[in-house]
Structure 1
Amino acid sequence: MPKYLLQVNYVGEGIRGLLKEGGTSRKAAAEAAVKSVGGRIEAMYYAFGDADCYVIAEVPDHPTAAALSMTLNASGRVSIKTTVLLTPEDMDAAAKLSPSYRAPGQ
């Protein structure tokens, strides 16, 4: 299953909900959401910096990841940036490909 990095920021009422419910409650809610689409959370960490929370999740495919991201973003209580994660084997396979490309101005 493909893996994704979710960079989560709590917004408005989402921050108040985190303060009220705590981190473990939000982790349980995140696990339930990901499980509902056939996936699983590999790791979840709260952090200081650009994102409030980082999640590594496996979900069946890109459309499923997009649906999960859109649903969570539509709540208005979190803002999520989703990044596809590639394995070293994926990079090996990519390195063997030879796309045809003409750079601008060439």
Structure 2
Amino acid sequence: MAKYLLAATYQGSGLEGLTVDGGTVRVEVVRSLVENAGGRLELMYFSFGEYDTYVLFDLPDHVTAAAMAIAVRAGGLVNGHLIPLLTPEQIDAAVNLPIAYQQPGR
């Protein structure tokens, strides 16, 4: 499973819907969305400022994450930034891969 952080902002009537449904209903909607995609919701927090929600969840892979992001954004009521997260062990594996790269101008 891959872990993701979604920082999202409600747009237009999406924010109006939040005021009608409340936070706990929206969390259950997001939980259902993630679980129906084969994932697991770890946590969801509401905020104020640049983003309205922060959601931490696992999904099977990047293709599933892309499909979910497309479906949510296509509705036009939520705008978000989906951020893939890596564990320290995944970074250890990445820095130990033999990658050959030449810097520009060298």
Q: Same fold by TM (over 0.5)?
A: yes
Cα distance in 2 between the residues matched to 1:87 and 1:71: 27
1:45 is aligned to 45
Report the counterpart of residue 11 of structure 2 in structure 1: 11
Aligned length: 106
Range with greater deviation from structure 2 (8-17 or 40-49): 40-49
Structure 2 equivalent of residue 30 of structure 1: 30
TM-score between both structures, scaled by the size of structure 2: 0.96
Instruction: Give 3-state SS (helix, strand or coil) of 2:18's partner.
Output: helix
How far apart are residue 99 of structure 1 and its match? 1.1
Deviation at 1:48, TM superposition (A): 2.1
Matched residue of 1:51: which SS? Answer: coil
**RMSD of the TM alignment (CA)?**
0.8
2:20 aligned residue: 20
TM-score, with structure 1 as normaliser:
0.96
The answer for unaligned runs of 5 or more in structure 2 is: none
Give deviations 1:49-102, integer Å, cap 9, x for gaps. Answer: 221100001010000000001100001010121010000110110121131111
Instruction: Give runs of aligned pairs for residues 75-86 of structure 1, distance below 5 A.
Output: 75-86=75-86
In 2, the alpha carbon distance for the partners of 1:41 and 1:100 equals 37
Q: Identity, % of aligned pairs?
A: 45
Instruction: Kindly indicate whether residue 73 of structure 2 is the aligned counterpart of residue 65 of structure 1.
Output: no
Distance 2:95 2:12 in 1: 43
Between 20-29 and 43-52, the greater mean CA deviation after superposition? 43-52
- In structure 1, the gaps of 5 or more residues are none
- CA distance in 2 between counterparts of 1:103 and 1:47 reads 41
